Structure 1
Amino acid sequence: MNGTKRHERILERLNRDGKVDVAGLSEELGISGVTIRRDLEYLAQAGVLRRTRGGAVSMMMLGEGLPYAMREIEVAETKQLLAAAVAKLVRNGEAVALDSGTTCVEIARVLVGTRLTVMPFSVQAIGALFGKSNINLITPGGSVRHDEGSITGPLAEASLRSVRFDTAIISPCGASPEDGVMAHDLHDAAVKRAIIDASRRTILVADSSKFSRSAMAAVCPLESIDILVTDAAVPAQVVERLSAGGVEVVVV
């Protein structure tokens, strides 16, 4: 198992249990304790966890999420599947507002094969779409969060008040039937709400791990979205509740 896969599995355990131990990880992954300790040191330097005697505990609280570099490697294969499923839902000629986050950057890479007008809300997605002849790229105003590359703030919200989109593609930091769609950053949550308000339909793209996470800022109720794109490990009660509320659920 390579380093990226190991880090991904460690992140999964941290998200689920809030803590990990070297002996348990070594047995579960079939990796030596020395390698596990080296992985934990790497993740500690990235600010994801705090080392403890024989293991580590998560440093992630409701007001903060995983660093961008860590999220890029988290469930990477699943994000590619989700991106391909979202691309199939978008038709040639649509005007699309594309949220920030690592999943939406993956979606941007797939959307380059479709004739679209796109307003992306991260510098990474702008880079992925720039120079593609079939993409009419519109950049929003706003401030760039240096740690995330997301575009937020009053100018970003003002940009959205003057346009309308066929489709909003939103990626949450956390989600649940009780608390709805959530984000860690208040300004990011405000932009997400403005994107939804400016769009005819909303596609929420969230891998199943997002349904075990909470965040501080509320975006919207889950039932207010039109389509959820997720993976097969999504909790059954989420699918049942959304389907009963008229939300289309696409499982990859």
Structure 2
Amino acid sequence: MDSTTRHAGILTHLRREGRVEVADLAAALGTSEMTIRRDLDVLARAGVLRRVRGGAVSLLSRGEELPFAMREVEASDAKQRMATAVSGLLRDGEAVVVDSGTTGLAVARALAGRRLTVMPLSIHALGPLAGSPATTLLVPGGTARFGEGSLVGPMTEASLRSLRFDTVVLTCCGFSATDGVTAYDVQDAAVKRAAVASASRVVLVAEAAKFARTALVVVCPVTEIDTVVTDVDVPDEAVAQLTAAGVDVIRA
């Protein structure tokens, strides 16, 4: 098992339990305790946990999120499948907003080379979308959040308000039929709300793990979502709740 996969496994346990023990992680991940200690030291330097005797405790509260690079390895296969499904929902010639985050980056990569007009809300997505003359790339103004790369602030919101899009591909930090779409960052949530208001159709992309989380800031209720693209691990009960609310659900 490589370090990226181990880190993802450690983070999964940490999110679920809040505290992890070296011996338990070594057994669960099939590696040595020495390797786990090194992994915990790496994650501690990244600021997501604090080392304690025999293990570590999470430093992630409802108002915090993992660093971008670490989130990018979480459910990466599922994100690619969902991104492909999103691409299949879009018709050539559409004007599309692609939200920020690691899932948004996966969608941007899936749309690269398509005959679309695309406004990405992350500097990470600029490179993939700029590689083909078939794609018209609209770049909003704004401030790039350090490390995260998402574009936020009044300039980004004004760019969205001045345009009308066919579809917004929305991402989230947490989602449920009860709480709706939630985000960790206040500025990021404001940009998401502006994107939703600018589009005729709202497609939310969220892997199953997001259904178990509620972040700090409410973006919009479930009634503003037209389609949810998720993965095969999403609970049947959650799908039933969304379907009852009039939302189309696609499992990729």
Once the two structures are superposed, what CA deviation does each residue of 1:31-75 show, in whole Å capped at 9, x if it has no partner? 111111111111111111111211111111121100111111111
CA deviation vs aligned residue, 1:98-129 (integer Å, no higher than 9, x gap)? 11101111111110132100011100111211
Q: Which runs of 5+ in 1 are unaligned?
A: none
Q: Offset at 1:18?
A: 1.7
**Structure 1 residue aligned with 2:32:** 32
1:219 aligned residue: 219
Question: Equivalent residue for 1:230?
Answer: 230
SS in 2 for 1:169: strand
Given that 1:167 and 1:200 are in contact with CA atoms closer than 8 Å, whether structure 2 keeps it comes out as yes
Partners of 1:115 and 1:135 within 8 A in 2 = yes
Find the counterpart in structure 1 of residue 106 from structure 2: 106
**CA RMSD, 1 decimal:** 1.1
Contact 1:223 1:242 in 2 (8 A): no
1: CA distance, partners of 2:201 / 2:173: 20
Please tell me whether the aligned partners of residues 113 and 131 of structure 2 are also in contact (alpha carbons under 8 angstroms): no
Structure 1 position 11 matched with structure 2 position 11? yes
Residue 250 of structure 2 corresponds to 250
Q: Which deviates the most, 91-100 or 12-21?
A: 12-21
Quick one: distance in 2 between partners of 1:210 and 1:219? 14
Q: Tell me by how many angstroms 1:223 deviates.
A: 3.1
Distance in 2, Cα, partners of 1:65 & 1:2: 23
TM-score (norm 1): 0.97
In 2, are the aligned partners of 1:16 and 1:212 still within 8 Å (CA)? no
SS at match of 2:81: helix
Give the equivalent residue in structure 2 for 1:185: 185
**Secondary structure at 2:200 match in 1:** strand
Runs (4+) of structure 1 exceeding 4 A deviation are none
Matches of 1:84 and 1:113, distance apart in 2:
13
1:114-145 deviation per Cα after TM superposition (whole angstroms, max 9, x unaligned): 21000111001112111311100011111111
Question: How many residues are treated as equivalent by the alignment?
Answer: 252
1:82-121 equivalences under 5 Å are: 82-121=82-121
Q: Distance in 1 between matches of 2:107 and 2:181?
A: 19
Give the equivalent residue in structure 2 for 1:74: 74
Amino acid at match of 2:116: L
TM-score (normalizing by structure 2): 0.97
**Per the alignment, in what secondary structure is the counterpart of residue 228 of structure 1?**
strand
* Contact 2:227–2:247 (Cα < 8 Å) also in 1: yes
Which residue number in structure 2 is paired with residue 137 of structure 1?
137
The sequence identity of aligned pairs, in percent, is 54
- Kindly indicate whether residue 151 of structure 2 is the aligned counterpart of residue 172 of structure 1: no
1:205 and 2:218 matched: no
- Counterpart of 2:10 in 1: which secondary structure? helix
Residue 152 of structure 2: aligned partner: 152
State the alpha-carbon separation in 2 of the partners of residues 155 and 15 from structure 1. 34
Which position in structure 2 is the counterpart of 1:59? 59
User: Which amino acid letter does the alignment assign opposite residue 194 of structure 2?
Assistant: A
1:187 Cα offset (Å): 0.7
**SS of structure 1 residue aligned to 2:117:** strand
Give the Cα–Cα distance (whole angstroms) in 2 for the partners of residues 17 and 179 of structure 1: 22
Cα distance in 1 between the residues matched to 2:90 and 2:187: 27
Query: Helix, strand or coil for the counterpart of 2:97?
Result: strand
Quick one: distance in 1 between partners of 2:223 and 2:40?
38
